[in-house]
Amino acid sequence: MFPLAGRHGIWLRVGLLSSVTVESNVSTGTVSTDVRENGPFGGIGYEYWLNPEWSVGLDLSFVDAGASSTVGVGTVTSEAASVTAVLIGASYYPRQLAVGSSFRPCVSLAAGPYVGSASNSIVDTSVSSESITSTAAGLRAQIGADLFFARRFAAGIAAGYAFVSDFSEQIGGHNNYSGPEFSVGIGILLGAGRSSQAAR
């Protein structure tokens, strides 16, 4: 079995099925544009394996980002918004489902705050600005599989769902960011690890 117990992993993840939308609208006296990244689009993570089947970790995920502007008669309004998740959780790699010595299916559960921030600026006869920060509680459940190779590297894929409570104020036009998540990742493994017998 690939030695995991006692090792550290640094992960870089990229969201799948997320998309960038660009919208422009023109009406009488008003021109508006909106550029937005829809869905989780990346993150970094740290993982530590307690034994060959269990690990704990910390994830910093970038869930949403966008910018919009509206030009009206005598008024220009702009907004920039983002949502970031900071999640602590655990993953379980069932030994019975391992394929060979290095392919390991897993399930994971993580919880933590989703932090939304927005900056609004309004220019008319004067200039005014407003900054909004709001926090919501989140729980993320995932299933996936990791492939470990060359003793120092890993690659993985995961799919799941994030359950997020409502923000007290709208961030990027939304109060709630619950939804499905899909990602692929690459990782670097640190440490020598312990043998399966010693990790039991």
List the pLDDT tens digit at each of the 200 positions of the chain.
678 899 999 999 998 766 555 556 666 656 666 665 666 778 999 999 999 999 999 999 998 877 766 676 667 777 788 899 999 999 999 999 999 889 999 999 999 999 999 887 776 666 667 788 999 999 999 999 999 998 899 999 999 999 999 999 888 778 888 988 999 999 999 998 776 554 44
Whether residue 2 lies inside any domain: the answer is no
Q: Distance between CA 62 and CA 172 in Å, rounded?
A: 14
159: left (phi over 0), alpha (psi -120 to 50) or beta: beta
What CATH number corresponds to the domain at position 41? 2.40.160
To which residue do tokens 């909004």 refer?
132
Tokens of 52: 């060959």
The CB density around residue 49, as the number of other CB atoms within 10 Å, is 24
Instruction: Give the torsion sign (CA, 163, 164, 170, 173).
Output: negative
- Our CA angle for 142, 192, 159, nearest 5°, is 10
Taking Cα atoms as reference points, which of 48, 34, 52 lies closest to residue 93? Answer: 52
Residue 181 belongs to what domain range?
Answer: 8-199
Taking Cα atoms as reference points, which of 182, 142, 180, 183 lies closest to residue 55? Answer: 142
Number of domains into which the chain is organized? 1
Whether residue 174 lies inside any domain: the answer is yes
Whether residue 1 lies inside any domain: the answer is no
Whether residue 32 lies inside any domain: the answer is yes
Whether residue 193 lies inside any domain: the answer is yes
Amino acid at 77: T
